[in-house]
Amino acid sequence: MKQKDDLIYDLIFSESSDFTIDIGQYITDIYKYDEFVDEIKEVLRKSKVSIITNSIDVDSKTVMWKLKVRK
């Protein structure tokens, strides 16, 4: 399992604006991905980071979240 704090730091402070996140690497129950996404969105909103595009691809093994942010 990767640390959610590291992901949040990358989303806020990295130079990159396009991200593809394998949510299965951050939570154990991938069917609760919506809670994870909502939590990350709330942190980004508080950090003044805007989500420009956002898509979630769900399959039986993992959940991929693709997003583009503006800082």
Q: How confident is the model at residue 18 (pLDDT cuts 50, 70, 90)?
A: very high
CA-based radius of gyration for the chain: 11
pLDDT score at 61:
87
pLDDT score at 2:
81
Interval 39-60: pLDDT, tens = 999 999 999 999 999 999 998 8
pLDDT score at 60:
85
Q: Is the pLDDT of residue 1 over 80?
A: no
Question: What's at 29, amino acid-wise?
Answer: D
CA distances to 6, 23, 33, 69 from 60, rounded to whole Å, are 26, 13, 13, 27
Q: Which of 65, 39, 40 is nearest to 53 (CA)?
A: 65
pTM: 0.87
Q: Which of 37, 71, 35 is nearest to 54 (CA)?
A: 37
